[in-house]
Amino acid sequence: MRKTVCFAVLTGAAVLCIVLVKSLHAGDVPRITTEELQKKVCSSDLILLDVRTVRSWDKSTQKIKCAKRVDPDNISSWISTLPKDREIVLYCA
């Protein structure tokens, strides 16, 4: 129960920033709800990226399980490593 509440709080706070990336065109980027993400988290079909700044990430006591932190200021170093055949969700808080 506590894990569910923590997850809901964290994702609820991050829901304003959650973006499902299937295209490089910003106008074509669909959104995902907290509930939809919760059903998919840790799925082999999903890549979950935490794009908070280092400072925000270090200070945070809440992190979504299975998420990988990537540097939002250095997108060019990791964007080309992402597979094109999986859902990719970026989130921040």
The domain containing residue 10 runs over which residues? Answer: 2-91
From the CA atom positions of the chain, what is the Rg in Å? 13
What is the rounded CA–CA span in Å between residue 63 and residue 50?
8
What's the domain count of the chain? 1
C-alpha separations of 35 from 1, 31, 82 in Å: 16, 12, 24
Percent of the chain with pLDDT over 70: 71
CATH number at residue 84: 3.40.250
For residues 92 and 69, give the distance between their C-alpha atoms in angstroms, rounded to a whole number. 10
6-28 pLDDT, tens per residue?
454 444 444 433 433 333 455 67
Looking at residue 93, its pLDDT comes to 73
- pLDDT, residue 42, reads 92
b/e code 6-23 from CB counts within 10 Å (16+ = b): ebeebbeebbeebbbbee
